[in-house]
Homo-oligomer: A and B are copies of this chain.
Amino acid sequence: MAFSLKACDKDSQARRGELQTAHGPIQTPVFMPVGTRGAVKGILPQHLCESGSSIILANTYHMLLRPGADIVERLGGLHKLMAWNGPILTDSGGYQVFSLSSLNRIGDDGVEFQSHLDGAKIYLDAKVATKVQNQLGADIIMAFDECTPYPCEQLRLERAVERTIRWAGICKESHSRADQLLFAIVQGGVDMDLRTFCSRELVGMDFPGYAIGGLSVGEGHEHMVNTIRHTAPLLPAEKPRYLMGVGMPQDILAAILCGIDMFDCVLPTRNGRNGYAFTFNGPMRLRNSKYIEDTGPVEQGCTCYCCRNYTRAAVRHFCIVGEMLGPILLSIHNIHYYHSLLASARLHIEQGDFGPWARAEIERYLQSGYNQALKVENEQ
Protein backbone atom coordinates (compact mmCIF):
# COMPACT_ATOMS: atom_id res chain seq x y z
CA MET A 1 0.00 0.00 0.00
CA ALA A 2 1.18 3.49 -0.82
CA PHE A 3 -0.42 4.96 2.28
CA SER A 4 0.12 3.94 5.88
CA LEU A 5 -1.33 5.39 9.06
CA LYS A 6 1.12 6.14 11.84
CA ALA A 7 -1.25 7.53 14.46
CA CYS A 8 -4.92 8.37 14.89
CA ASP A 9 -6.28 11.06 17.19
CA LYS A 10 -8.41 9.67 20.01
CA ASP A 11 -11.14 12.33 20.11
CA SER A 12 -11.33 13.31 16.45
CA GLN A 13 -10.95 11.77 12.99
CA ALA A 14 -7.47 13.28 12.59
CA ARG A 15 -4.81 10.93 11.22
CA ARG A 16 -1.05 11.01 10.93
CA GLY A 17 0.11 9.14 7.85
CA GLU A 18 2.81 8.58 5.28
CA LEU A 19 2.22 8.42 1.55
CA GLN A 20 4.82 6.77 -0.68
CA THR A 21 5.32 8.29 -4.12
CA ALA A 22 7.76 7.67 -6.97
CA HIS A 23 9.72 10.71 -5.77
CA GLY A 24 9.75 9.89 -2.07
CA PRO A 25 7.43 9.80 0.93
CA ILE A 26 5.12 12.55 2.17
CA GLN A 27 4.23 13.01 5.82
CA THR A 28 0.53 13.75 6.25
CA PRO A 29 -1.40 15.87 7.02
CA VAL A 30 0.47 17.90 4.42
CA PHE A 31 0.16 21.29 2.75
CA MET A 32 1.09 21.51 -0.95
CA PRO A 33 2.21 24.89 -2.32
CA VAL A 34 0.70 25.68 -5.72
CA GLY A 35 2.97 26.04 -8.77
CA THR A 36 0.21 26.84 -11.25
CA ARG A 37 2.39 27.30 -14.32
CA GLY A 38 5.32 25.19 -13.21
CA ALA A 39 6.62 27.59 -10.59
CA VAL A 40 5.48 28.46 -7.08
CA LYS A 41 5.28 32.18 -7.71
CA GLY A 42 8.50 33.92 -6.73
CA ILE A 43 9.98 31.02 -4.75
CA LEU A 44 12.97 28.98 -5.86
CA PRO A 45 12.87 25.23 -5.11
CA GLN A 46 15.77 25.78 -2.71
CA HIS A 47 13.55 27.99 -0.54
CA LEU A 48 10.59 25.64 -0.87
CA CYS A 49 12.76 22.85 0.53
CA GLU A 50 14.09 25.06 3.29
CA SER A 51 10.53 26.12 4.19
CA GLY A 52 9.47 22.51 4.59
CA SER A 53 7.71 21.78 1.27
CA SER A 54 7.63 18.05 0.54
CA ILE A 55 5.21 18.02 -2.40
CA ILE A 56 4.08 20.75 -4.76
CA LEU A 57 1.16 21.08 -7.14
CA ALA A 58 1.00 22.11 -10.77
CA ASN A 59 -2.13 22.86 -12.78
CA THR A 60 -2.82 20.61 -15.76
CA TYR A 61 -4.98 23.25 -17.46
CA HIS A 62 -2.22 25.87 -17.41
CA MET A 63 0.54 23.47 -18.44
CA LEU A 64 -1.67 22.13 -21.23
CA LEU A 65 -2.08 25.62 -22.68
CA ARG A 66 1.57 26.63 -22.25
CA PRO A 67 4.02 25.11 -22.95
CA GLY A 68 1.81 22.09 -23.83
CA ALA A 69 1.84 18.49 -22.61
CA ASP A 70 3.85 17.15 -25.56
CA ILE A 71 6.60 19.64 -24.93
CA VAL A 72 6.71 19.02 -21.18
CA GLU A 73 6.95 15.29 -21.90
CA ARG A 74 9.78 15.76 -24.41
CA LEU A 75 11.59 18.01 -21.92
CA GLY A 76 11.61 15.10 -19.47
CA GLY A 77 8.44 15.86 -17.52
CA LEU A 78 7.35 18.35 -14.88
CA HIS A 79 10.05 17.44 -12.35
CA LYS A 80 12.76 18.46 -14.78
CA LEU A 81 10.95 21.61 -15.92
CA MET A 82 10.24 22.75 -12.36
CA ALA A 83 13.69 21.72 -11.07
CA TRP A 84 11.86 19.89 -8.30
CA ASN A 85 12.97 16.36 -7.58
CA GLY A 86 10.36 15.70 -4.88
CA PRO A 87 6.76 14.59 -5.31
CA ILE A 88 4.40 16.59 -7.55
CA LEU A 89 0.62 16.46 -7.87
CA THR A 90 -1.30 17.66 -10.92
CA ASP A 91 -5.00 18.44 -10.81
CA SER A 92 -7.27 17.27 -13.60
CA GLY A 93 -7.90 20.63 -15.23
CA GLY A 94 -11.61 20.31 -14.50
CA TYR A 95 -11.81 23.20 -12.08
CA GLN A 96 -10.04 25.63 -14.44
CA VAL A 97 -12.02 24.52 -17.50
CA PHE A 98 -15.22 25.35 -15.67
CA SER A 99 -14.00 28.53 -13.97
CA LEU A 100 -11.45 30.18 -16.28
CA SER A 101 -12.31 29.29 -19.85
CA SER A 102 -15.19 30.07 -22.19
CA LEU A 103 -17.12 26.83 -22.46
CA ASN A 104 -18.34 25.97 -25.91
CA ARG A 105 -20.00 22.68 -25.11
CA ILE A 106 -20.30 20.40 -22.10
CA GLY A 107 -21.38 16.93 -23.03
CA ASP A 108 -21.56 13.64 -21.22
CA ASP A 109 -18.31 12.69 -22.91
CA GLY A 110 -16.23 15.80 -22.31
CA VAL A 111 -15.84 19.54 -22.64
CA GLU A 112 -14.91 21.83 -25.48
CA PHE A 113 -13.60 25.17 -24.31
CA GLN A 114 -11.62 28.16 -25.45
CA SER A 115 -8.25 28.97 -23.96
CA HIS A 116 -8.50 32.02 -21.69
CA LEU A 117 -5.23 33.16 -23.26
CA ASP A 118 -5.81 33.20 -27.00
CA GLY A 119 -9.26 31.72 -27.55
CA ALA A 120 -7.87 28.51 -29.07
CA LYS A 121 -10.44 25.70 -29.03
CA ILE A 122 -9.44 22.77 -26.83
CA TYR A 123 -11.23 19.53 -26.15
CA LEU A 124 -10.80 17.79 -22.83
CA ASP A 125 -12.35 14.58 -21.61
CA ALA A 126 -11.44 11.91 -19.10
CA LYS A 127 -9.17 10.10 -21.51
CA VAL A 128 -7.36 13.22 -22.70
CA ALA A 129 -6.98 14.63 -19.18
CA THR A 130 -5.43 11.36 -18.05
CA LYS A 131 -3.13 11.16 -21.06
CA VAL A 132 -2.03 14.75 -20.49
CA GLN A 133 -1.26 13.99 -16.84
CA ASN A 134 0.61 10.83 -17.87
CA GLN A 135 2.71 13.06 -20.11
CA LEU A 136 3.30 15.70 -17.43
CA GLY A 137 4.50 12.88 -15.18
CA ALA A 138 3.46 14.01 -11.70
CA ASP A 139 3.53 11.46 -8.87
CA ILE A 140 -0.15 11.95 -8.08
CA ILE A 141 -2.69 12.72 -10.79
CA MET A 142 -6.40 13.49 -10.52
CA ALA A 143 -9.42 12.07 -12.30
CA PHE A 144 -11.20 14.51 -14.65
CA ASP A 145 -14.25 15.91 -12.88
CA GLU A 146 -17.00 18.46 -13.37
CA CYS A 147 -16.66 21.11 -10.73
CA THR A 148 -19.92 22.96 -9.98
CA PRO A 149 -20.23 26.51 -8.67
CA TYR A 150 -22.09 27.56 -5.50
CA PRO A 151 -25.02 27.88 -5.48
CA CYS A 152 -25.92 25.36 -8.18
CA GLU A 153 -29.21 24.06 -9.57
CA GLN A 154 -30.07 20.56 -8.39
CA LEU A 155 -30.28 19.12 -11.91
CA ARG A 156 -26.86 20.48 -12.86
CA LEU A 157 -25.39 19.19 -9.60
CA GLU A 158 -26.78 15.71 -10.21
CA ARG A 159 -25.59 15.61 -13.79
CA ALA A 160 -22.11 16.77 -12.70
CA VAL A 161 -21.94 13.98 -10.13
CA GLU A 162 -22.99 11.39 -12.72
CA ARG A 163 -20.39 12.61 -15.17
CA THR A 164 -17.70 12.80 -12.50
CA ILE A 165 -18.34 9.17 -11.62
CA ARG A 166 -18.41 7.98 -15.24
CA TRP A 167 -15.32 10.01 -16.11
CA ALA A 168 -13.47 8.58 -13.08
CA GLY A 169 -14.00 5.10 -14.50
CA ILE A 170 -12.65 6.16 -17.90
CA CYS A 171 -9.63 7.82 -16.24
CA LYS A 172 -8.85 4.63 -14.37
CA GLU A 173 -9.08 2.56 -17.53
CA SER A 174 -6.92 4.87 -19.59
CA HIS A 175 -4.31 5.57 -16.91
CA SER A 176 -1.10 4.08 -18.23
CA ARG A 177 1.69 4.75 -15.74
CA ALA A 178 2.26 2.54 -12.71
CA ASP A 179 4.50 5.16 -11.10
CA GLN A 180 1.61 7.64 -10.82
CA LEU A 181 -1.16 7.42 -8.21
CA LEU A 182 -4.56 8.30 -9.70
CA PHE A 183 -6.95 9.88 -7.18
CA ALA A 184 -10.71 10.20 -7.77
CA ILE A 185 -12.63 13.37 -6.85
CA VAL A 186 -15.92 13.38 -4.96
CA GLN A 187 -18.31 16.10 -6.16
CA GLY A 188 -21.87 16.95 -5.09
CA GLY A 189 -21.80 20.51 -3.81
CA VAL A 190 -23.33 20.80 -0.34
CA ASP A 191 -25.93 18.10 -1.07
CA MET A 192 -25.16 15.32 1.40
CA ASP A 193 -27.07 12.66 -0.52
CA LEU A 194 -25.12 13.40 -3.67
CA ARG A 195 -21.83 13.38 -1.73
CA THR A 196 -22.80 9.99 -0.29
CA PHE A 197 -23.75 8.62 -3.71
CA CYS A 198 -20.62 9.95 -5.38
CA SER A 199 -18.35 8.65 -2.60
CA ARG A 200 -19.82 5.14 -2.69
CA GLU A 201 -19.58 4.86 -6.44
CA LEU A 202 -15.98 6.03 -6.52
CA VAL A 203 -14.93 3.92 -3.54
CA GLY A 204 -16.34 0.92 -5.36
CA MET A 205 -13.83 1.55 -8.17
CA ASP A 206 -10.91 1.27 -5.72
CA PHE A 207 -8.65 4.28 -6.29
CA PRO A 208 -5.39 4.66 -4.32
CA GLY A 209 -6.64 7.99 -2.97
CA TYR A 210 -9.71 10.25 -2.89
CA ALA A 211 -10.24 13.97 -3.05
CA ILE A 212 -13.14 16.14 -2.02
CA GLY A 213 -13.65 18.74 -4.71
CA GLY A 214 -16.09 21.56 -5.33
CA LEU A 215 -15.63 23.26 -1.95
CA SER A 216 -14.25 26.67 -1.06
CA VAL A 217 -16.26 28.09 -3.97
CA GLY A 218 -18.37 30.47 -1.91
CA GLU A 219 -20.39 28.14 0.32
CA GLY A 220 -18.79 29.47 3.52
CA HIS A 221 -16.97 27.84 6.44
CA GLU A 222 -19.97 26.09 8.02
CA HIS A 223 -21.30 24.46 4.82
CA MET A 224 -17.75 23.47 3.94
CA VAL A 225 -16.99 21.84 7.27
CA ASN A 226 -20.37 20.06 7.33
CA THR A 227 -19.73 18.65 3.88
CA ILE A 228 -16.23 17.49 4.82
CA ARG A 229 -17.48 15.98 8.08
CA HIS A 230 -20.14 14.11 6.13
CA THR A 231 -17.94 12.97 3.25
CA ALA A 232 -14.58 12.05 4.79
CA PRO A 233 -15.89 9.02 6.75
CA LEU A 234 -17.42 7.67 3.52
CA LEU A 235 -13.91 7.33 2.10
CA PRO A 236 -11.70 4.35 2.97
CA ALA A 237 -9.73 4.88 6.17
CA GLU A 238 -6.66 3.25 4.66
CA LYS A 239 -6.47 5.65 1.69
CA PRO A 240 -5.26 9.28 1.65
CA ARG A 241 -7.93 12.00 1.54
CA TYR A 242 -7.26 15.28 -0.21
CA LEU A 243 -9.37 18.42 0.22
CA MET A 244 -8.83 20.47 -2.94
CA GLY A 245 -8.15 24.20 -2.89
CA VAL A 246 -8.68 24.71 0.86
CA GLY A 247 -7.67 27.05 2.43
CA MET A 248 -7.49 29.28 5.44
CA PRO A 249 -5.58 27.97 8.49
CA GLN A 250 -8.79 27.40 10.46
CA ASP A 251 -10.35 25.54 7.52
CA ILE A 252 -7.34 23.25 7.30
CA LEU A 253 -7.41 22.46 11.02
CA ALA A 254 -11.17 21.85 10.89
CA ALA A 255 -10.68 19.51 7.93
CA ILE A 256 -7.89 17.59 9.67
CA LEU A 257 -10.34 17.08 12.57
CA CYS A 258 -12.64 15.44 9.99
CA GLY A 259 -9.88 13.12 8.74
CA ILE A 260 -8.40 14.99 5.77
CA ASP A 261 -4.72 14.36 4.94
CA MET A 262 -3.77 16.65 2.06
CA PHE A 263 -4.31 20.31 1.22
CA ASP A 264 -3.38 22.83 -1.44
CA CYS A 265 -4.11 26.52 -1.64
CA VAL A 266 -2.78 29.67 -3.29
CA LEU A 267 -3.47 31.79 -0.19
CA PRO A 268 0.09 31.88 1.20
CA THR A 269 1.67 33.00 -2.08
CA ARG A 270 -1.18 35.21 -3.28
CA ASN A 271 -1.40 37.00 0.05
CA GLY A 272 2.37 37.30 0.10
CA ARG A 273 2.31 39.03 -3.26
CA ASN A 274 -0.33 41.40 -1.91
CA GLY A 275 1.74 42.33 1.13
CA TYR A 276 -0.02 40.16 3.72
CA ALA A 277 1.72 37.88 6.18
CA PHE A 278 0.15 34.94 7.96
CA THR A 279 1.30 34.75 11.57
CA PHE A 280 0.27 32.73 14.59
CA ASN A 281 -0.93 35.99 16.14
CA GLY A 282 -3.18 36.88 13.24
CA PRO A 283 -2.75 38.43 9.80
CA MET A 284 -0.45 41.37 9.14
CA ARG A 285 -0.80 43.91 6.37
CA LEU A 286 2.84 44.85 5.91
CA ARG A 287 2.02 47.98 3.92
CA ASN A 288 0.51 49.45 7.09
CA SER A 289 2.34 52.59 8.16
CA LYS A 290 2.66 51.27 11.71
CA TYR A 291 5.53 49.07 10.51
CA ILE A 292 7.61 51.96 9.09
CA GLU A 293 10.14 51.78 11.91
CA ASP A 294 9.40 48.30 13.21
CA THR A 295 12.72 46.49 13.64
CA GLY A 296 11.18 43.17 14.66
CA PRO A 297 10.93 40.23 12.25
CA VAL A 298 7.61 39.62 10.49
CA GLU A 299 6.95 36.91 13.07
CA GLN A 300 8.88 36.61 16.31
CA GLY A 301 10.55 33.22 16.61
CA CYS A 302 9.93 32.26 12.98
CA THR A 303 12.95 30.56 11.37
CA CYS A 304 12.13 31.35 7.72
CA TYR A 305 14.60 33.20 5.48
CA CYS A 306 12.52 36.38 5.67
CA CYS A 307 12.27 36.45 9.46
CA ARG A 308 15.89 35.44 9.99
CA ASN A 309 17.17 38.29 7.83
CA TYR A 310 14.70 41.15 7.43
CA THR A 311 12.84 43.59 9.64
CA ARG A 312 9.16 44.38 9.24
CA ALA A 313 10.27 47.88 8.24
CA ALA A 314 12.39 46.50 5.39
CA VAL A 315 9.64 44.22 4.11
CA ARG A 316 7.19 47.13 4.30
CA HIS A 317 9.62 49.34 2.38
CA PHE A 318 10.00 46.75 -0.40
CA CYS A 319 6.21 46.36 -0.64
CA ILE A 320 5.64 50.11 -0.71
CA VAL A 321 8.24 50.89 -3.38
CA GLY A 322 7.21 47.89 -5.48
CA GLU A 323 10.40 45.85 -5.16
CA MET A 324 9.93 42.14 -6.06
CA LEU A 325 11.74 41.27 -2.84
CA GLY A 326 8.66 42.22 -0.76
CA PRO A 327 6.36 39.63 -2.38
CA ILE A 328 9.19 37.09 -2.54
CA LEU A 329 10.02 37.40 1.16
CA LEU A 330 6.38 37.33 2.27
CA SER A 331 5.62 34.33 0.05
CA ILE A 332 8.55 32.50 1.60
CA HIS A 333 7.33 33.41 5.07
CA ASN A 334 3.72 32.42 4.36
CA ILE A 335 4.69 29.05 2.86
CA HIS A 336 6.89 28.44 5.89
CA TYR A 337 3.98 29.42 8.12
CA TYR A 338 1.63 26.89 6.47
CA HIS A 339 4.22 24.15 6.75
CA SER A 340 4.80 25.02 10.42
CA LEU A 341 1.06 24.84 11.03
CA LEU A 342 0.89 21.38 9.43
CA ALA A 343 4.02 20.25 11.30
CA SER A 344 2.34 21.27 14.56
CA ALA A 345 -0.78 19.37 13.54
CA ARG A 346 1.27 16.24 12.83
CA LEU A 347 3.04 16.55 16.16
CA HIS A 348 -0.21 16.98 18.11
CA ILE A 349 -1.75 13.95 16.41
CA GLU A 350 1.32 11.93 17.38
CA GLN A 351 1.14 13.28 20.94
CA GLY A 352 -2.53 12.41 21.13
CA ASP A 353 -3.81 15.90 21.95
CA PHE A 354 -4.77 17.12 18.50
CA GLY A 355 -8.50 17.53 19.17
CA PRO A 356 -8.35 20.09 22.00
CA TRP A 357 -5.33 21.84 20.46
CA ALA A 358 -6.97 22.21 17.04
CA ARG A 359 -10.30 23.41 18.45
CA ALA A 360 -8.57 26.06 20.52
CA GLU A 361 -6.48 27.12 17.53
CA ILE A 362 -9.53 27.37 15.27
CA GLU A 363 -11.24 29.57 17.84
CA ARG A 364 -8.15 31.74 18.05
CA TYR A 365 -7.95 32.05 14.27
CA LEU A 366 -11.61 32.94 13.95
CA GLN A 367 -11.14 35.68 16.53
CA SER A 368 -7.91 37.02 15.04
CA GLY A 369 -9.77 38.40 12.05
CA TYR A 370 -8.12 36.35 9.35
CA ASN A 371 -11.27 36.13 7.27
CA GLN A 372 -11.86 39.84 7.41
CA ALA A 373 -8.26 40.82 6.76
CA LEU A 374 -7.54 38.46 3.93
CA LYS A 375 -10.28 39.05 1.43
CA VAL A 376 -9.09 36.71 -1.23
CA GLU A 377 -10.48 34.11 -3.53
CA ASN A 378 -9.10 30.81 -4.56
CA GLU A 379 -7.04 30.57 -7.70
CA GLN A 380 -6.81 26.97 -8.75
Contacts and interface: CB of A to CB of B under 8 A. Distances in A.
Query: How many identical chains are in the complex?
Result: 2
Contacts of A46: 305
Interface string A315-355: 00110110111011100000000000000000000000000
Given A292-B67, A309-B45, A309-B83, A38 B314 contact: yes
Given A314-B81, A323-B38, A75 B295 contact: yes
A41 B313 contact: no
B66 A311 contact: no
Given A67-B292, A305-B44, A317-B38, A80 B311 contact: yes
A45 B318 CA distance: 14
Interface residues of A, number: 38
A188 B66 CA distance: 52
Chain B CB within 10 A, most for which of A37, A305, A329 = A37
Contact of A314 (B83, B295, B309): B83
A314 B83 CA distance: 9
Interface in A55-76: 62, 66-67, 71, 74-76
A78 to B, nearest CB: 10
A366 interface: no
A8 interface: no
A273 to B, nearest CB: 9
Given A44-B328, A75-B311, A81-B314, 6 more contacts: A39-B325, A42-B324, A42-B328, A71-B313, A81-B311, A81-B313
Q: Which 4 A-B pairs have the closest CB atoms?
A: A83-B309, A39-B325, A42-B324, A39-B323
